[in-house]
Structure 1
Amino acid sequence: MSAVANPATVAECLRVGAGFSQGDRNWIAEQFGTLDARLAGFHADTTELEVSVKDREAPGQKVTLECWIAGRQKVVTTSSEEDLHAALNDVRDDLRRKLNDAKTKQEPRHNRHLRENALPDPAAIDPGDLLKNDQI
């Protein structure tokens, strides 16, 4: 994989949504810092992260982390952990897992099992079948 000219980082791409203030942004970005290695394969100008919390510090609080990367489906992770730090760690780890899963599905050349099963054996193809399919 070639290096991205302007790699995405949490510090550059993170927005705080409902339930958080701009004052919370720095410590959340620090807590999400381990995502930088995973985000580095994407361009900063086409990557967005938004974290929000509903019913902060109340029973039943829900933390949501959304990730938009151009050309991919939006990834959403949520946590109902009662401790805010634990909930943030939970959504961070879940996002990393989902991004890794999406990468594996999108790039089977890096997955030996998918690579070996993706292409038919050329010896198993009957040349006569090719001619039949090419006729209009």
Structure 2
Amino acid sequence: MSAVSNPATVEECLRVGAGFSQGDRNWLAEQFATLDNRLASFHADATELEISVKDREARGQKVTLECWISGRDKIVTTSSEEDLHAAVMDVRDDLRRRLNDAKHRQEPRNNRHLREVPTPEIDPEPEASTPS
């Protein structure tokens, strides 16, 4: 596989949505830095991440991390952890797992359509043998 010329990074692709401020963005990017290795196989201009939180710091808060990668299904991870830091780690780890799963499904050994090798055509009429 060839290297991606402009690999996606959290720093480049992360947007903060409802419940987070631009001031939170640096902290979030640091927490998500471990995703860079997984995102590096995608182009930065074709990858977006957005994190949001509903009812921040309240009982029942919900953190949502959405990931859009061109040509793939959108991935949405959520956490209802009461501690904001724990919720952020939860959605990060779930996204990493789901990206890994998606990558493995596209590898030939896990995808029958990529694994199939065309069978050579067989001549329907075998050559007649000559009697000796």
Normalising by structure 1, report the TM-score.
0.82
Per the alignment, residue 100 of structure 2 pairs with 100
User: Are 2:101 and 1:88 equivalent residues in the alignment?
Assistant: no
Quote the Cα distance in structure 1 between the aligned partners of 2:3 and 2:119: 34
Matched-pair identity in %: 75
Quote the Cα distance in structure 1 between the aligned partners of 2:22 and 2:118: 57
- Structure with a larger share of its residues in helix: 1
Q: CA RMSD in A?
A: 2.1
Q: Which runs of 5+ in 2 are unaligned?
A: 125-132
Per the alignment, residue 28 of structure 2 pairs with 28
SS in 2 for 1:29: helix
User: Are 2:79 and 1:79 equivalent residues in the alignment?
Assistant: yes
Structure 1 position 126, deviation (Å): 7.3
* Max Rg structure: 2
Per the alignment, residue 54 of structure 2 pairs with 54
Structure 1 position 87, deviation (Å): 0.4
Cα distance, 1:82–1:120 mapped onto 2, change above 3 Å: same
Give the number of aligned pairs.
Answer: 123
Structure 1 position 55, deviation (Å): 0.4
Structure 1 position 114, deviation (Å): 5.5
Q: Aligned AA for 2:83? A: D
Cα distance, 1:15–1:120 mapped onto 2, change above 3 Å: closer
Per the alignment, residue 119 of structure 1 pairs with 116
- Deviations along 1:93-131, whole A, 9 cap, x unmatched? 0001001111111222xx4x657xx437959x9765xxx
Cα distance, 1:120–1:70 mapped onto 2, change above 3 Å: closer
Give the ranges of 4+ consecutive aligned residues of structure 1 lying more than 4 Å apart after TM superposition: 120-123, 125-128
